[in-house]
A = this chain, B = another copy of it.
């Protein structure tokens, strides 16, 4: 397939990805002033797209960003954009869609360019990736689990920049990522908040299982992830007790199981923390049940898909 280049969407225009760009004066670059979402498809259908779009609008609202669109508009724009690239995907091939929405050209924009660059209007970027480009080592990771590492850097507190605003001012997370990689180049960062509570990864929520109960941090200081919410719903359906509460590194080191949740991979077993095994060092039974239930709900065997993606990549 993919006989031509994929399009990206930038401010109403469809542009081949290699040329999809944003003015260097845009507030996305000048102040990291961007809210964002990413969504994936299962069997070509975007999963909970409306929820993602509504959260995008909430993020914009909390960032004091005025939008010329309501949710219906953004949903329609997204679906139309996806249609444009639809022919590039084989049957059964899923994709990942990213929305980046900045406040538009910054105050640094030269006066003579403002009209042309849309000053006063937000900049909306949408692009998508075939799952095989995103999947990386998922097949192995689903089977072995990933390695979480807690860095020195603390997540900024909600009174500075609330992680509930899903945003692109993420240098603090990057500092965490680079520190985590000093322990293991493939480590997934697990950030603590300034009180020392376990918070989230740079792009995922986190949960542990302690004696049969799922425990995940409250949303006081983490993104209210849509995958996180899906896990809580699945747990409820499966009769697995689950709580949202403050957890500490002790709880992770002594947990029976652990996993990350994130849109692209749904739920990823985590079997090591700071080089120590979690539980017996293998993905655990509750993690497996959740992953299987999720696959059932969306009609995709997630592990099998990851294996197929690994082959195709």
A residues near B, CB below 8 A? Answer: 6, 8, 10, 17-18, 20-26, 28-34, 58, 61-64, 98, 100, 102-103, 108, 110-111, 113, 116-117, 125, 127, 129, 133, 149-162, 164-165, 167-175, 178-179, 182-183, 192, 194-197, 218, 220, 245-246, 248-251, 253-254, 274-276
Complex Cα distance, B150 from A25, in Å, reads 27
A195: chain B residues within 8 A (beta carbon): 157, 159
The 4 closest A-B pairs by CB, nearest first: A159-B196, A32-B32, A169-B169, A156-B160
- The smallest C-beta distance from A161 to any residue of chain B, in angstroms, reads 4
**Residues in chain B near residue A173, CB distance under 8 A:** 31
Which of A20, A24, A25, A253 is the most central at the interface, judged by chain B CB atoms within 10 Å of its CB?
Answer: A24
- Complex CA gap A246/B118 in Å reads 39
Q: Which residues of B contact A246 (CB under 8 A)?
A: 218, 220
Q: When the two chains form their complex, are residues A17 and B172 in contact, meaning their CB atoms are under 8 A apart? A: no
Interface pair B174/A63, CB less than 8 Å apart = yes
Can you report 30 residue pairs joining A to B where beta carbons are below 8 Å apart?
A: A10-B24, A21-B22, A22-B24, A28-B28, A29-B168, A30-B170, A32-B32, A32-B168, A33-B170, A34-B171, A58-B254, A62-B249, A62-B254, A103-B174, A110-B129, A150-B152, A152-B152, A152-B249, A154-B160, A158-B196, A159-B248, A160-B196, A161-B171, A164-B250, A164-B251, A168-B169, A168-B171, A169-B171, A182-B183, A182-B274
What's the Cα separation between A175 and B274 when bound, in Å?
Answer: 11
Question: Is the Cβ of B196 less than 8 Å from the Cβ of A250?
Answer: no
